[in-house]
Amino acid sequence: MNDLSAAPAPESPRPERQRKPDWIRVKAPVSKGYHETRQLMRDLNLNTVCEEAACPNIGECWTKKHATVMILGDVCTRACAFCNVKTGMPRLVDPMEPENVAIAAGKMGLNHIVITSVDRDDLPDGGAGQFVKVINALRRETPDTTIEILTPDFRNKMRPAIEAICEAGPDVFNHNLETVPRLYPTIRPGARYYASLRLLEEVKAHDPLIFTKSGIMLGLGEQRLEVHQVMDDMRSADVDFITMGQYLQPTPKHAKVEDFVTPKAFAAFGSIARAKGFLQVAASPLTRSSYHAGDDFAQMKAAREARLAKQKA
């Protein structure tokens, strides 16, 4: 009789990884600037969405000493199907975080900084107070740095959160719609499309001078006309800047890439967005919310000034 007890258990098949097309591949980060930026974030106990979300542009951005700081910890209270950030019960908010963000901005010599966060549904204000403290610290320590924030939706706390943050005066208020309404139940189950749209409307209603920005990912199974409708919805909310980039699957456990959208298709979407009246458009496979954010901000500001001058004339 054969002894089967020692036989190794059959291995379960490993999930197949999708092969990326040539236009989406990037080199591994190895530069001195990359390592210096990484070490600075470690020294100041700061998190970055660049690392936590496995951004493909991290090598390029960190080499240039550009980083998107992620405040309120590295654990999110949501579990979106596209996101690589850890989900669970977050730790206490770090009281030194605002000062450390300002120190990092000063040491990196940033002209423009992007501040984002995890969702903090556990906090009474959704984390809005920490955004305010970070903005205030940056204004105090690096007054010439323009500030862009990328916020969560502040579910059930939206209006007071927006009022507090707008009073602090960021230059750009970004909140991503992420995908088309039809895909929200599977891709962004903890959020509501029209609640996110209303947040962007509320920012403009509170302070029309703050630039608003929003983005979507392509390749999740959305249809072309659905993307056009999202553009129209954003324009109805008076959003100034739209970003469109290729969704990439962080791990086999996350939502699958349904389609790798070609650079030509992205260029076509970008042309349509410009025709719809956005001040600034960024549309390419590697576009991300904060990719080239400083340069885009300068161009958006110039576009607004040109539009206002034309209206006066």
What does the pLDDT look like over 192-224, one tens digit per residue?
Answer: 999 999 999 999 999 999 999 999 999 999 999
Distance CA 242, CA 261 (A): 17
166 carries a ligand binding annotation:
no
Least confident of 1-5, 177-181, 240-244, 297-301: 1-5
Reported as a pLDDT band with limits 50, 70 and 90, residue 109 is confident
Distance CA 230, CA 216 (A): 9
Least confident of 11-25, 54-68, 242-256: 54-68
pLDDT value, residue 142: 94
For tokens 């904060």, name the residue: 290
Q: Which of 249, 199, 193 is nearest to 226 (CA)?
A: 193
Q: How far is CA 302 from its chain centroid? A: 23
What is the 3-state composition of the chain as percent helix, strand, coil, each rounded to the nearest 5? 40, 15, 45
Q: Which amino acid is it at 52?
A: E
Distance CA 294, CA 111 (A): 7
pLDDT value, residue 40: 76
Please name each of the domains of the chain with its CATH number.
28-312 (3.20.20.70)
Q: Give yes or no for residue 16 having a pLDDT over 90.
A: no
Average pLDDT, the chain: 87
Q: Which amino acid is it at 151?
A: T
Torsion of CA 146, 42, 53, 298, to 10 degrees: 20
Q: Give 29-58 pLDDT, tens digit per residue.
A: 555 666 677 777 788 878 876 554 455 555
Q: What is the mean pLDDT of residues 256-269?
A: 96
What is the 8-class DSSP label of residue 95?
Answer: T
Beta bridge partners of 245: 217
59 and 27 in contact (C-beta within 8 Å)?
yes
Distance CA 124, CA 163 (A): 15
Distance CA 204, CA 110 (A): 26
Q: What is the mean pLDDT of residues 291-313?
A: 86
178 and 82 in contact (C-beta within 8 Å)?
yes
